[in-house]
Structure 1
């Protein structure tokens, strides 16, 4: 099936590319760049059809994110992160879906999901407090998903711990200006969020356990395999696709820069076998990362479409593939960036921006290999499920 969203993005590729430095200076995505994503329907790729969405295959989502990130890392990052939120919103109560999309199906939803708040139960809902970092694209969003822990009557974390995803309108939270001063992905505007004593009604709350175990979409009556694909596949997909797309952008800029470059020794790059070797090896590794990530998403989708239960071991192996794909691509990118010469580090050379963006993207918690590799190795050895926090996000 033709990906018409991707087609429209490529028609406006030069516009996205040129707006990248503008977003970096602003510390958030430029309004024109956000408009391109909005007009193309990027954020509606995983949105339910009943609210103007495309219910796209996860492969189409990943390919679109990669293409945008190869033009501008920050725009691709927002496409991946903000773009995944409609996927979960499809599982939410129809009342909140109507509140968000009823008048405008292009309303964007921010996050983060990290459980940095406490939700104290009250009649009809919760009183919510907390502070969160890294709300990517938040300036262009009118609603937000925030992670929180269930509290007790005194506002302390209830036992046993229970994680929640709470949905709030823009009027119920504060965006902290000046809280996104970073080395890379500057244009994502991933600012801090503060919530003070906001009332969140019951119908705007989703237990995270039901999202991670796959019961939330089934209880919502969703049948499209896109929504039955595990959260631990779909949520990391947008983030890792952005990182891989950024490395593809770095490779493209490197090739364009090296094409006519002559080293200080007088040797043309086209005549330097060591640089040529590095280019080919990096291109192969970045391509392998793309293939691995997309193949993993497709396999999970196919299992969901066949009505198969996707086991913890399969989810853990999928996360292992996803994490390794990100690291492989960034490590390959490093090999060509360090062979680009000192002028590649000048501010007017996009190579250095892709390089910084990729490393900041790799630092996202979803790419930390330790617990994922540990959990997947234990399941391979017959220990399933592994103990404690190693099960997190799997």
Structure 2
């Protein structure tokens, strides 16, 4: 099965074709811990990498709602594929903060450049002439096996006389300038290629760097596109929760296929119904987050609610999949059954730091509900 290159827009039809293709290869991807080349090509062809890219480079200038629905769909077939597709889109949005010369470096030859991102400031950067020297190790860089570029965040070395918090910057580095260390060994999301990368004294020109504050505040001095000017607080967790919720919908389909004949009973039916309610509620909350971003509702109440929504989904979706596993029984846990793969993928992905109440939602939304601490 193959997918022809579609128009720039990421359509529901393109997402559905990718879902079917990814589902065909999902078991093999889980076994080999890598996406099939045709699936990688299909992610690119479907329009995920170009979704947030400027139209002047052939990009779609798409919406958060369109992307979210596409990721939910693909995840029903293969969560690892959806995870990589989601991150390729959001990484391009991050890269829009680069200076204009950097835009041309990444997208001058076309909008389908696949970018991976290391958000945690694990490395160090030092000013060297008109550019930077970057060193360090970054873990859990999803999609790195097939990325054309990677964005890494590093702490800038400051003179001893300078006081205050350290400056952090992002640096865009092309494939071939970094080393990939195959360290990803999670039991779930096996095919996301979320490996460690190493940079050793890599020189990065100024036009391939920007201040981390730009991403956090959402103020983009190098692009006036709506999607390029969104505070990280409201959008960060959506990147990760949409594949998780879509994977739960895939688990629901897989579990339902086991409850036939004599295996269908009131207890199993009740578990499926209860799980479906949790999954549908999570879909609505994820869609609500996308609506907030597209509607540019950037007050603290909406941004904090987005964090709450995502972390809540990461709590109830594993509960739903647990109900489905118990309803399906032993047959659903066989190595050849997709339910156990969805179960492992949801469990692994929901543990992401961006989806934890304490780190992503508690303090901000508590302040909305209860007011600031006295």
Q: Which residue of 2 aligns with 1:163?
A: 168
Give the secondary-structure state (helix, strand or coil) at the position aligned to 2:201: strand
Q: Distance in 2 between matches of 1:28 and 1:274?
A: 37
TM-score of the pair, normalised by structure 1: 0.87
| Preserved contact between residue 96 and residue 223 of structure 2 (Cα < 8 Å) | no
TM-fit CA distance, 1:28: 1.8
TM-fit CA distance, 1:365: 0.9
Alignment of 1:1-394 (within 5 A): 5-152=11-158, 159-177=164-182, 179-215=183-219, 217=220, 219-224=221-226, 226-260=227-261, 262=262, 268-269=263-264, 272-303=265-296, 310-371=298-359, 372-383=361-372
Give the secondary-structure state (helix, strand or coil) at the position aligned to 1:54: coil
Change (3 A) 1:13 1:321: closer
| Preserved contact between residue 244 and residue 330 of structure 1 (Cα < 8 Å) | no
Give the secondary-structure state (helix, strand or coil) at the position aligned to 1:172: coil
Q: Which residue of 1 aligns with 2:6?
A: none
Q: Distance in 2 between matches of 1:210 and 1:187?
A: 31
| Preserved contact between residue 116 and residue 141 of structure 2 (Cα < 8 Å) | yes
Runs (5+) with no aligned partner, structure 2 = 1-8
Q: For each residue in 1:7-60, what CA deviation from the matched residue of structure 2 results, as whole angstroms up to 9, or x when unmatched?
A: 023235432101112222222211111111112112222222122211111011
TM-score of the pair, normalised by structure 2: 0.92
| Preserved contact between residue 28 and residue 137 of structure 1 (Cα < 8 Å) | no
| Preserved contact between residue 268 and residue 328 of structure 2 (Cα < 8 Å) | no
| Preserved contact between residue 218 and residue 231 of structure 2 (Cα < 8 Å) | yes
| Preserved contact between residue 61 and residue 238 of structure 1 (Cα < 8 Å) | no
Change (3 A) 1:58 1:51: same
| Preserved contact between residue 19 and residue 78 of structure 2 (Cα < 8 Å) | no
Give the secondary-structure state (helix, strand or coil) at the position aligned to 1:175: strand
Q: Distance in 2 between matches of 1:374 and 1:190?
A: 29
Equivalent residues, number: 365
Change (3 A) 1:94 1:115: same
Give the secondary-structure state (helix, strand or coil) at the position aligned to 1:164: strand
- CA-based RMSD: 2.1
Q: For each residue in 1:318-341, what CA deviation from the matched residue of structure 2 results, as whole angstroms up to 9, or x when unmatched?
A: 211111122222211111112211
Change (3 A) 1:114 1:12: closer
Runs of 4+ in 1 over 4 A off after TM superposition: none
TM-fit CA distance, 1:153: 5.1
